[in-house]
Amino acid sequence: MENLKTQLRTLKLAAICQNLELRNRYALQHKIGYIEFLELLVEDEMANRQTNGYINKLRESKLDTQKVLDCYDFSYQPQVDKRQIYDLASCRFIDQKHNVVFMGKPGVGKTHLAHAIGLEAVKKGKRVLFIHTNEMVEKLYSSRADGSYAATIQKFLKPDLLILDELGFKKMPQYSMEDFFEIIRKRYENGSMIITTNRNFEDWGTLFGDKVIASAIIDRIVHHATIVKLNGNSYRIKNLLELNGMFEDDPKEKSKRGRPKKSEDQENYENNNE
């Protein structure tokens, strides 16, 4: 048995190795055939690999596991089509190599939706990577200096879904234009992207400092894309107002308290001076 376990570990069949004795006892007790015994061991290995695969993909994705779709407050963003969002969460757009753009002012929930759809993609076995846009272009730029550019760009080309957050949060450096365009160009019809941005497309010329490059980038992003515009109020301001409200005095309690009670010395002083 120990020799067999050593061979299984060499073949990287960890789950079969771990469950071998348990499955062997089960087979003897229930008098099952060799094929059924082998099927049980293979099922153990497949289940273990699927679990480990999900955990690894989730860790590599850099997604926030708290930002799930069930926690998104659609009532606060009534203009958002809930059916459309859940359709995107089916991840068919990833199989089709299409893109999604969430567009709106800060705090309206763009990033939350991007995380939520990304998490659904990981559940379906997709490779996902979430990264801030400026962080990505800075990494690409730095990799040119140390000779790791080819390996670095592959990190952003390999995922089934690349999520670029906060495009337009600040103006993109001139030196990073070529790298950003290269990502968009190479992923075009080869891999899906979700992009969150607080800029309308007409502002992208200013964002990139070059209307020609901006036009080429927009063309490749939106050719096969779902554009979702969020025009509601900021969740952050909503949460801040709710938090402040927790510490405000109740108006009824204020009226009950009225003016502070005068001390005995104050009353005597006022009576003597009337």
Report yes or no on 168 lying in a domain. Answer: yes
- Pairing type for strands 225-230 and 128-132 reads unpaired
Report yes or no on 95 lying in a domain. Answer: yes
| Contacts of residue 130, Cβ cutoff 8 Å, sequence gap at least 6 | 61, 62, 63, 64, 114, 115, 118, 163, 165
Same domain for 36 and 142? no
Same domain for 108 and 144? yes
Report yes or no on 228 lying in a domain. Answer: yes
| Residues of the domain holding 188 | 69-235
Same domain for 91 and 214? yes
Q: Is 209 left (phi over 0), alpha (psi -120 to 50) or beta?
A: left
Q: Tokens 């590599």 sit at which residue?
A: 60
Same domain for 27 and 142? no
Report yes or no on 245 lying in a domain. Answer: no
Report yes or no on 252 lying in a domain. Answer: no
Report yes or no on 195 lying in a domain. Answer: yes
Question: Using CA atoms, how far apart are residues 204 and 228, in angstroms rounded to an integer?
Answer: 17
pLDDT tens-digit profile, the chain (274 residues): 889 989 988 998 899 899 999 999 999 999 999 999 999 999 998 998 888 999 999 999 999 999 999 999 998 888 899 999 999 999 999 999 999 999 999 989 999 999 999 999 999 999 999 999 999 999 999 999 999 999 999 999 999 999 999 999 888 888 889 999 999 999 999 999 999 999 999 999 888 888 999 999 999 999 999 999 998 777 656 555 555 555 455 555 555 545 555 555 555 545 555 5
What integer pLDDT is reported at residue 209 of this predicted model?
Answer: 85
Same domain for 54 and 138? no
